[in-house]
């Protein structure tokens, strides 16, 4: 793996959809770099510190949200002289995002009073009253032609279907929820999945014309749904709950065909491979080293007496570190708070928030646990390679951790005092963005070999 030098950042960083550029927020400046050369392509100055950024789907435009103003500024990569500023007045802007056609900006005003679609072509705007959420409750079909937005009025939740061509409301229907949490289209655009507040376990599936196809409730009298994710193939719907279980529904029958438990004690019969992060002394034979100026100061990663990180394969039974959430505090750290599918829909990883140092990897084809990655520190972020079955995760340390069906390994980031707090893949899988506290770097990721050893360390 080859790493770039560290570059300054004070806010969000993200790749462009076409995988050619990377946008970085540095206070009030928006820096656009090329992904291969890392040369600065464009530099834009905003009116205040940048809170969030988002690329348009065609990678030609990019918007910056300024929470302190609050307002939105947009820029063109190919026409640097073009600029756009959106200000909602006293109501302010709680959030903004691009429409799939890359020619409309959708803004949510403060207190969720209205959603506005601003056209970059003819400066027209269309309003939708009473959106339910600022950053959630809006989903587009895969072809980008239609949008489903959650609204609430008269103490009831509704779903409005909009045409992304003229932003007219094509239909609206009431949904049977206590306090709707979020909404998402199925990958084939045939159904709309809705889930309720964590106070009530309820997953609802509606057709675009408002017919209820499924009302799923796994249990009663307890905290309910915490995370939901469609498989890329569109056949499976994964539902993570506060009862520390992952349930997978089949889109053809809308029946539960798999239930995976996250137990703190893993016992036989369990054929999963457990990789545990351990430290080991790293010794150097000093007689083989030449005393040159290059070795005047020892490298902290390789000096005698230091440690290096590696994975050790351990046998079950094993007791995983478990944190019991306090009963007198809100938002308990329990349940499946993190889940994601591999690009081929065969694997799904989960993190039970009451066991934050363990990442579970499940094989959907075999309906069994494939591996557990047991880290020293809580897992901060994990992401699948978009092009192959490879998983990368970080824990806020100076190491990266990778897993593939052939094994797992650790590697050090060769930058001084750099802690990996977050990570993102480029859409073509060639580059990995590693975000630190006040800087970031990128790593060129080699092609995954078909056959490799079980596990290695510090590669």
What is the arithmetic mean of pLDDT over 30-42? 95
pLDDT 10s digits, 230-267: 999 999 999 999 999 999 999 999 999 999 999 999 98
Selection from 264, 458, 277 nearest residue 377 by Cα: 277
Tell me the two tokens of residue 151: 């609204």
Q: Provide the terminal-to-terminal Cα distance of the chain, rounded to the nearest Å.
A: 8
The beta-strand segments (E) located in 79-231 are 83-86, 93-98, 104-109, 114-119, 125-129, 138-140, 146-153, 156-163, 169-175, 182-185, 192-195, 203-206, 212-216, 225-230
Q: Which of 100, 133, 102, 103 is nearest to 115 (CA)?
A: 133
pLDDT at 284: 55
> pLDDT value at position 448?
65
CATH number of 123's domain: 2.130.10.10
Q: Does residue 289 lie within any of the structural domains?
A: no
| Mean predicted lDDT score pLDDT of the chain | 89
Q: pLDDT higher for 457 or 119?
A: 119
Q: Is the CB of residue 21 less than 8 Å from the CB of residue 37?
A: no
Please count the structural domains in the chain.
1
**pTM summary value:** 0.90
Whether the CB-CB separation of 8 and 415 falls below 8 Å is answered with no
CA distance 165 to 188: 20
The CA-based diameter of the chain, rounded to the nearest angstrom, is 80
pLDDT digits (tens, 9 = 90+) for 69-85: 889 999 999 998 999 99
| The pLDDT value given to residue 303 | 40
pLDDT at 364: 96
- The per-residue pLDDT for 446 is 81
Give the tens place of pLDDT for each residue, 84-114: 999 988 878 999 999 999 999 999 998 888 9
Residue 66 lies in a domain: yes
Say if CB 149 and CB 137 are below 8 A apart. yes
Query: Which has the higher per-residue pLDDT, 304 or 198?
Result: 198
User: Would you say residue 5 lies in a domain?
Assistant: yes
Per-residue pLDDT reduced to its tens digit, 175-211: 999 999 999 999 999 999 999 999 999 999 999 999 9
* Lowest-confidence pick of 113-117, 157-161, 383-387, 445-449: 445-449
Is the separation of the CB atoms in 326 and 310 below 8 Å?
A: no
Q: Which residues contact 308 (CB under 8 A, 6 or more apart)?
A: 279, 280, 282, 301, 412, 457, 458
pLDDT at 453: 37
Calculate mean pLDDT across residues 441-448. Answer: 86
* pLDDT tops 60 at residue 370: yes
Q: Please tell me the predicted confidence (pLDDT) of residue 76.
A: 96
pLDDT of amino acid 406: 93
Contact 120, 112 (CB under 8 A): no
pLDDT of 301 strictly over 60: no
Q: Return the percentage of the chain with pLDDT > 70, whole number.
A: 92
The pair of three-digit structure tokens given for residue 430, joined into one six-digit string:
């060639």
Residue 323 has pLDDT above 90, yes or no: no
Domain that holds residue 5: 1-129
């Amino acid at each position: 793996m080859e790493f770039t030098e560290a570059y300054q950042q004070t806010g969000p960083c993200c790749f462009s959809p076409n995988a050619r550029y990377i946008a970085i927020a540095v206070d009030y400046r928006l820096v656009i770099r090329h992904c291969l050369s890392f040369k600065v392509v464009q530099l834009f100055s905003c009116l205040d510190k940048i809170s969030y950024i988002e690329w348009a789907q065609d990678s030609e435009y990019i918007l910056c949200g300024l929470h302190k103003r609050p307002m939105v500024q947009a820029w063109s990569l190919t026409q640097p002289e073009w600029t756009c500023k959106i200000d909602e007045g006293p109501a302010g802007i709680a959030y903004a995002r691009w429409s799939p056609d890359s020619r409309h900006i959708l803004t949510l005003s403060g207190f969720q009073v209205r959603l506005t679609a601003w056209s970059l072509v003819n400066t027209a705007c269309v309003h939708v009253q009473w959106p339910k959420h600022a950053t959630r409750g809006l989903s587009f079909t895969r072809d980008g032609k239609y949008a489903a937005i959650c609204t609430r009025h008269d103490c009831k939740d509704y779903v409005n279907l909009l045409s992304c061509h003229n932003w007219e409301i094509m239909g609206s229907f009431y949904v049977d929820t206590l306090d709707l949490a979020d909404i998402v289209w199925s990958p084939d655009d045939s159904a709309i999945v809705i889930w309720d507040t964590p106070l009530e376990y309820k997953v609802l599936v509606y057709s675009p014309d408002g017919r209820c196809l499924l009302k799923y409730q796994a249990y009663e009298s307890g905290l309910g749904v915490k995370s939901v994710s469609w498989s890329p193939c569109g056949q499976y719907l994964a539902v993570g709950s506060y009862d520390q279980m992952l349930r997978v529904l089949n889109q053809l029958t809308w029946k539960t065909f798999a239930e995976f438990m996250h137990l703190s004690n893993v016992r036989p019969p369990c054929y999963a491979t457990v990789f545990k992060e351990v430290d080991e002394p790293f010794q150097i034979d000093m007689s083989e080293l030449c005393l040159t100026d290059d070795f005047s100061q020892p490298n902290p990663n390789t000096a005698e007496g230091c440690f290096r990180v590696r994975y050790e394969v351990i046998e079950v039974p094993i007791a995983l570190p478990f944190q019991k959430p306090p009963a007198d505090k809100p938002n308990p750290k329990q349940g499946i708070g993190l889940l994601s599918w591999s690009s081929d829909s065969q694997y799904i990883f989960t993190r039970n928030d009451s066991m934050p140092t363990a990442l579970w990897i499940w094989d959907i084809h075999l309906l069994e646990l494939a591996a557990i990655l047991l880290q020293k520190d809580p897992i901060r972020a994990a992401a699948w390679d978009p092009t192959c079955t490879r998983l990368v995760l970080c824990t806020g340390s100076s190491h990266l951790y990778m897993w593939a069906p052939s094994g797992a390994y650790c590697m050090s980031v060769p930058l001084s005092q750099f802690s990996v707090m977050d990570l993102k893949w480029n859409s073509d899988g060639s580059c990995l963005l590693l975000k630190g506290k006040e800087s970031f770097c990128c790593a060129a990721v080699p092609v995954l070999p078909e056959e490799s050893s079980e596990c290695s360390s510090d590669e």
